[in-house]
Structure 1
């Protein structure tokens, strides 16, 4: 199950986040500023939120249907069985939806993910315009960023079950500290790259609880 879900998230994340490394070039090709080109990412997010489900239902494209069916089949085959009866759990699950702690957790996760996506969207432009990094090195920094995120996911996943609040506090503190350090070191290549990796690690770890 872990491999199926991991592959699905990898495919989705790649399609969503690949614009970050292409933003400067896209702005140049389109003849607009980098912030204006960044609106493409906002448009992509809106398309994912509204357009994708509607389009999938309305058009019933076979390629989308087949891929979705394959992913669903793989997940169903890998999810452990032996779950309790659904009727006794639905009311319990619905009652938890009114708990303020749950919505606080949702809000914290949304804030962390928002910080991740907003900053990552302009990472390529930051490295190119502020850090003055050569174009050939930007993919390397993005890979280092991804490695930090991977380590954060693994570490957060291992500690969140036993110490959820501690994982959350440590991760969010790391986000704040590394964001401040990044703002102070953005002009310097090595410190900036280290901050990017540690920042990705902190965000990924803080959202696992």
Structure 2
């Protein structure tokens, strides 16, 4: 291995860290409302269940937003798109903080979700190209680490701030921080010249790659299984395992730390062994979810399994993002945006089915059972990917003279998946 490649694989470019700050802010805003729903409902004159639509609206925006915004901003320079997304994100929070009308706040949540989608799909491509093929999974692991750290640090801090001041306080802080992030991104993210104008046709052509859809299916199943269980983790801990209600936030924080660790390790190992990382993550996650079904009557065993679930469930996420970018070839933006949409589709469907299972005779064992089935079904896309690897590989779409995706070099810099 050449020193340059080796050096690049050891140290990530500063721009990746800058983009990770943006994902931290955007991850914080998605669930910070969950800890403030009674205050929001009381101030805006709606029921708590209706105030919960602020979370649903953001999730819906994250399903539709990334692919729509990927196409809408395709011809903009990537740096401009990132800055614009952060500015719109900040303005959305300002509007929400100033408004006393629930409908306006709801619309502002949809707008901030669209901005989040635009930022994520472009940040993924920029980080992957900046890191190079030897460190793509590590770079995307850092970006996704921003999201997991947001759940461990950003959401609890935002909820605390909203409790001690006013529910609008976290919105003002997020608006100010995202405005600062826009200035930093504009200063440090390079505005890379493109050899040819981006092509919407090429972006859609990338979706003809079977491997792209197999990875997207894997994302939906794995994230759907993990987060369907996580959505109902509180009743599992308190009513089935007998964990005191006051200890639940601590368990969730440790779960988040496990997710941060899993993402970091998966990103580092996945650059060399992507398919093996996916198999290990899916297999251990399926086993842990299955054990939760049968062993979650013991508080200590349940806590240990929940923490392990965070680590194993998120270990494959940076690899999956890297493979989507790689398989899409010279047109990665739309495909990358669909990875975020696939995750949210999996979470939406998985949490709905888990809710039905919770209300059935399975009770608190229902959600982890649903998660087990979903995680086990990842064997289908995994098998198909392994078969494609063993036969003639697909060639990623590339227009003559188009901007190249992460190069498929031999050796450690670009391992076979």
Q: Are residues 1:16 and 2:125 paired?
A: no
Aligned-pair CA distance for 1:41: 5.3
1:205 aligned counterpart, secondary structure: coil
Distance in 1 (CA, whole Å) between partners of 2:184 and 2:255 is 29
Q: Are residues 1:182 and 2:292 paired?
A: yes
1:135-173 Cα shifts (integer Å, max 9, x gaps): 221111011101110111100111122111111111111
Q: Are residues 1:145 and 2:294 paired?
A: no
Q: Are residues 1:172 and 2:286 paired?
A: no
Q: Are residues 1:194 and 2:311 paired?
A: no
**Could you say if the C-alpha distance between residues 204 and 78 of structure 1 is closer, same or farther in structure 2, counting changes exceeding 3 Å?**
farther
2:314 aligned counterpart, secondary structure: helix
Give structure 1 stretches of 5+ with no counterpart.
Answer: 24-29, 57-62
Give RMSD over aligned pairs: 3.6
Distance in 1 (CA, whole Å) between partners of 2:283 and 2:33 is 28
Does the CA contact (< 8 Å) of 1:20 and 1:121 recur in 2?
Answer: no
Does the CA contact (< 8 Å) of 2:241 and 2:299 recur in 1?
Answer: yes
Q: Which of the pair has more CA radius of gyration? A: 2
Q: TM-score, normalised to structure 1's length? A: 0.73
More helix by share: 1
Q: Are residues 1:127 and 2:237 paired?
A: yes
Aligned-pair CA distance for 1:205: 0.6
Does the CA contact (< 8 Å) of 2:22 and 2:178 recur in 1?
Answer: no
Does the CA contact (< 8 Å) of 2:285 and 2:313 recur in 1?
Answer: yes
Partner of 1:112: 222
Does the CA contact (< 8 Å) of 1:4 and 1:74 recur in 2?
Answer: yes
Does the CA contact (< 8 Å) of 1:17 and 1:121 recur in 2?
Answer: no
Distance in 2 (CA, whole Å) between partners of 1:76 and 1:168 is 35
Does the CA contact (< 8 Å) of 1:148 and 1:198 recur in 2?
Answer: yes
Partner of 2:59: 45
Q: TM-score, normalised to structure 2's length? A: 0.39
How many aligned positions are there? Answer: 193
